[in-house]
Structure formats: C-alpha cells, structure tokens
Amino acid sequence: MSLDTLRAQFPALQQPDLIYLDNAATTQKPTAVLEAMQQFYQADNANVHRGAHRLSARATRAFEGARDTLARFINAPERESVLFTRGTTEAMNLLASSLGGQQLQAGDLILIDSWAHHASIVPWQQAAQRAGARLCPIPLDKAGQLDEAAYLALLAQQPRVVILTQVANALGARAPLSRWLPLARAAGAITIVDGAQGIAHDTVDVQALGCDFYAFSGHKMYGPTGIGVLWGRRALLEAMPPYQFGGEMIHKVSFEQSSFNQLPFKFEAGTPAIAEAVGLGAAAQWLMAQDRAALAAHESVLLARARTGLASIEGITLYSAFEDNAGSLAFNVEGEHHQDVGIWLDQAGIAVRCGHHCCQPLMAALGVKGTCRVSVAAYNTAAEIDAFVEALRDMREFLNDDPL
C-alpha cells in the first residue's frame, strides 16, 4: 500500500496546517476504527454478557470477538488470559495491587528500568511501601543505555519482580527484552513488560517474548482511548486476587461472602468499555492487515532523517538517539525552554510533545527539567520531517539574529 493510500485512511490528518508528530502521546485513528465504533453504537449497542435478548448477544459477540482478535494480535496462548483494562496505567495498578499484594514480602527487591513511565513507577512504589519492599532502578550507562553489568549485579540479589519498558516513551530507546527477560526469569523474578510504546512499532508475540505479563494501551496503536490490554500467564492470573469488585467479576454473592468469576471476568468488574474494545479489535485487525515490517522500516527511515536533520542544526542536544530507536527522538535547543520550542513549532503547525513525559526520575538522571520529543507513526512523511527540521532551523536563526 502506498503511503498516500495509508494516510488517506486517517480523517484527522486531512485537516490543513497539521503536521502531527506527537504519536507517542496518542496516534490518530483510521476509518476502520471509527466505523467499527460507530457501527457498534448505531446497530449493536447493549450491555454485554447478561442480556436475554438478541441485541445483547450481538454486543457480547462483538466485545468477545475483539478479545479473540487481540489474543491473535499478541499471540496469547488462550483468550482467557487477555484482560481488558482502561490502558497501561490501569494494568500496572492492577498488577501492583493484586500481584504485588500477594507476592511481596518485607525486604523483597523490585527492579524497574530507569526510563520507566510514572504509570509503572508509582503503582509499584506504593506496593513496595505497603509491603516493606524496595523499588530499585536499573541505572543507565554512560551512553544512555540500560546498564547490563548493573542489571546482572541486581539480578544476583534475586528480585521478586522485574519491570521493563519495551520502548522508552521519553527517549524512543528499546530495552534488550530478548536478552534480559530470560535472565530475569532465570533469577526467579516475575517479569512485567510495559508495552505502551512498543506495541505500535513491533510485532509482539508474548509467548516468544517469554515475559509473565505484557500491558499496552489501545490509543497508542491507532485504537481508541479508555481501553487497553493486560496479558498474563494463566497460572499467575488464576492465583491472583481480584483487583476491583462489583458486577461481572463475581460468581455468587451473599451479604456474608462472595465468590469470584473465572478468567478473564474476575479482573473486569463493572460494565466494560464495550465500543472501545470493539474499536481496539478493529485497530488490531487494521495493523495485522498491514505489512508491519514495511511500516517499521518506514518509521526507521523517518527517525534517521529527523536525527540527521537535528544533528545538522547547531545548539541541539539529542538524548539517546540510538540507531534502533522506535518512534521517538528527544532533544533540547540550547538556551531555550522546551515549552517555548513546542510553542514555536506549533506556530508552524507542527505538533510535538514537550515536558517531562511522565518520566521525572529519567529527567533527573539526564540533568534536565524536560525535553522536546518528536514521535512518528506509520502515516508520517519525509516532507513532514523536513518541515519540522526547517522550522527548528528557522527558530535558531531567528533567535540568533542580532536585532541591532
């Protein structure tokens, strides 16, 4: 499929004066996703699982069909271990609360990478505090990569849980999952992967990855907001206590006691985000119909072009611009506040993200308050990257121009 044809499927990109390079925050949605959600509300809308009527049966089929699609999308061994959540944040809260409450003991060690998002750090920090456990960051080496020697030394202390971010949202850097996950499991740790950024760029096979849990958000992979997935190993999920309580997740309730439903419903209390799940199923289907390798190669070319362009402008600091970055590059402009750079680019119709990117510990390690982040998706073009680089060059020239 040509880039023009692919791009034409995204209505939001058709508006004038918009160069959307904030895809790590959220992606735009293709017509296939928008239509699936509209079709659900127009024709199939009813509550799921408990209705005696045909419409409810249709809604249930659409919702559970989305679960089947998502199980295929990540190659989950069975559909019951694919849980719908509100997104990666809720998945991490679920794990920290349920698994953390069950597994952590005083003195236990939890490892987390230094570029983790607050959505991974804070729930586990809270779980550690409740249990008297320690949350320890895996440091960065001098090149800005995760430090393997330090990781090996930390694994020797037999951590209970290891949390790795597949792709760092603030940097675009990739964690060495295929090497590091087996090491963590061999050390006896439960492994959790934050796939919020990775899912849009890499084809994910949870069985091949070999982690115990994998979490992602729909809205970063061309799907809707308010929906995501937590996949977990069945035996662990079966043994974990529920996270939230209410309708759907119960088996029998009396005023004295309750028993709980089987997987996946045990972890899905209340009316779920039905249309959003259907939309996410459509997004997964849309991605599976693409040549994923070609999309990834296109994104790499765009990132390389951005890297070369940024490096050609004096006074730009690039953070962790590794060759194998996925989706994002982070930078600052010498003497300029990152927010000012974002406002300048916005004046040129270019959307990027500026700030701490929900990674304050990483910003502290980098010695900055924040950065600008340019992030690409499959629909971006080389011309858009060039416009972004030229707008920054103009900014430097304008600000360096002596008014007298």
- Residues annotated as catalytic (active site), given as ranges: 358
Q: Residue from 117, 298, 307, 373 that binds ligand PMP (CB under 6 A)?
A: 117
Nearest to ligand PMP of 114, 197 (CB atom)? 197
CB of 142 vs ligand PMP, minimal distance in Å: 23
CB of 118 vs ligand PMP, minimal distance in Å: 8
Q: CA–CA separation, 398 vs 396, rounded Å?
A: 6
Q: Which residues, including other chains, have CB under 8 Å from residue 375's CB and lie 6 or more apart?
A: 21, 22, 23, 24, 25, 172, 327, 328, 329, 352, 353
Q: According to CB under 6 A, which residues from 333 to 372 bind ligand PMP?
A: 358
Residue 114 interacting with ligand PMP (CB under 6 A): no
Q: According to CB under 6 A, which residues from 202 to 231 bind ligand PMP?
A: 217
Block residue for tokens 């970063």: 220
Q: CA–CA separation, 72 vs 5, rounded Å?
A: 26
Type of residue numbered 112? I
Q: Which residues, including other chains, have CB under 8 Å from residue 292's CB and lie 6 or more apart?
A: 203
C-alpha radius of gyration, the chain, whole number? 22
Q: Per residue, what are the HEC states of 164-193?
A: EECECCCCCCECCHHHHHHHHHHCCCEEEE
Nearest to ligand PMP of 135, 389 (CB atom)? 135
CB of 359 vs ligand PMP, minimal distance in Å: 8
Residue 119 interacting with ligand PMP (CB under 6 A): yes
Write the CA distances from 106 to 96, 130, 240, integer angstroms.
Answer: 15, 9, 19
Type of residue numbered 120? S
**In this chain, which stretch among 192-200, 251-259, 284-292, 330-338 interacts with ligand PMP, using CB under 6 A?**
192-200
Residue 194 interacting with ligand PMP (CB under 6 A): yes
Nearest to ligand PMP of 147, 194 (CB atom)? 194
Residue 19 interacting with ligand PMP (CB under 6 A): no
Residue 197 interacting with ligand PMP (CB under 6 A): yes
CB of 200 vs ligand PMP, minimal distance in Å: 10
Q: According to CB under 6 A, which residues from 28 to 87 bind ligand PMP?
A: 87
Please work out the total of residues on this chain that contact ligand PMP, with binding judged by CB under 6 A: 12
Q: According to CB under 6 A, which residues from 158 to 187 bind ligand PMP?
A: 165, 169
Nearest to ligand PMP of 40, 216 (CB atom)? 216
Block residue for tokens 């990478």: 113
Nearest to ligand PMP of 59, 173 (CB atom)? 173
Q: According to CB under 6 A, which residues from 78 to 107 bind ligand PMP?
A: 87-89
Burial class of residue 249 in the structure, from the number of CB atoms within 10 Å of its CB (0-12 exposed, 13-18 middle, 19+ buried): buried
Nearest to ligand PMP of 29, 117 (CB atom)? 117
Burial code (b: 16+ CB inside 10 Å, e: under 16) for 216-229 equals bbbbbbbbbbbbbb
214 touches 206 (CB < 8 A): yes
In the three-class reduction of DSSP (H, G, I as helix; E, B as strand; rest coil), residue 43 is classed as helix
CB of 236 vs ligand PMP, minimal distance in Å: 21
Q: Which residues bind ligand PMP (CB under 6 A)?
A: 87-89, 117, 119, 165, 169, 194, 196-197, 217, 358
